[in-house]
Every structure is written in C-alpha cells, then in structure tokens.
Amino acid sequence: MDDIYREQILEHARHPRNYGHLPAPTVIREERNPLCGDQIRLELAIVDDVIADVRFTGRGCAISQASASLLTEAIKGKPVAEAKQFSKDDLLEIIGIPLAHNPTRLKCALLSLKALKAGLYGVGQEDEDI
C-alpha cells in the first residue's frame, strides 16, 4: 500500500470530515456489516435536488470510517442524480488503496456507499448493486 494513501486513510479515520448529525436531514440511512460489526449512519440534507449538506456517524475499522469521510466530501454539493451514479470504482479510486482482492476490507470500504445508494433510492441495496 502506498504510504500517501495509508496516511490519507489514517487521517480521515482519526479526523473524519462531516462527522456528526444534521439538524433536519431529509434522508437518513444506517447500514451495518454483520461480518465485522462496522456501522455507518448517513444523513443528507437535500435542497432542490442537490445534496446541500451531509453528515455521518458510525463505528468500525479505519477503512470504513475513512471511506465514509471521503465519500461525504465527494458528494457534498452534488446533484442527487450525480450522487446516484457514484460507483464502487469511484469510491475505491478516492480511497486509493487496493482492496479488490480483499473481500472483507472491500465490504468495509463500501459500507458508506451502500448507505448512500439505499438512502437515495429509498430501498435496500445489495452489495452487487453498488
């Protein structure tokens, strides 16, 4: 793993961006990874079909928490339609560490994206749908 990306993960895990609760979220979605116990709660404030603000809370490994922090930075201010198109590959590129051959870590990294998609589409999302 490249040291720059390792440091980015640790920085976001230790000092997550957009951590906390929104005063009046329009979308709330919580997802859990039953294999490791990680959990993410994503709160969105959508105004005029734009993600005006976003917050998350949760607990788990450094990758799940850093991934949520990085995702919130990426989607804040984006149109909902664009956020719906945000893919697994997009998130993995932002994270910057190779996880494709580590299914357990991959589930951790994608937990926040699963919460985003389920919240925006209003239904449960299977891992294959992300």
Give me the residue spans of the domains in the chain: 1-121
CA dist., res. 109 & res. 67, Å (int): 6
Q: Are 92 and 60 in contact (CB under 8 A)?
A: no
pLDDT at 26 (0 to 100): 96
1-121 CATH pick, 3.40.50.2300, 3.90.1010.10, 3.70.10.10, 3.90.1750.10: 3.90.1010.10
Compute the half-sphere exposure of residue 118: CA atoms within 13 Å on the CB side of its CA.
Answer: 21
Mean pLDDT (the chain, rounded): 88
The pTM (predicted TM-score) of the whole model is: 0.88
DSSP H or E run through 30 = strand 27-32
Packing angle, helices 88-95 and 103-121, rounded to 10: 130
Per-residue pLDDT of the chain (130 residues; tens, 9 = 90+): 456 557 778 888 889 999 999 999 999 999 998 888 999 999 999 999 999 999 999 999 989 999 999 999 999 999 999 999 999 999 989 988 777 777 778 888 999 999 999 999 985 545 555 5
H helices of 15-102, where?
Answer: 62-75, 80-84, 88-95
pLDDT tens figures, 50-86: 999 999 999 999 899 999 999 999 999 999 999 999 9
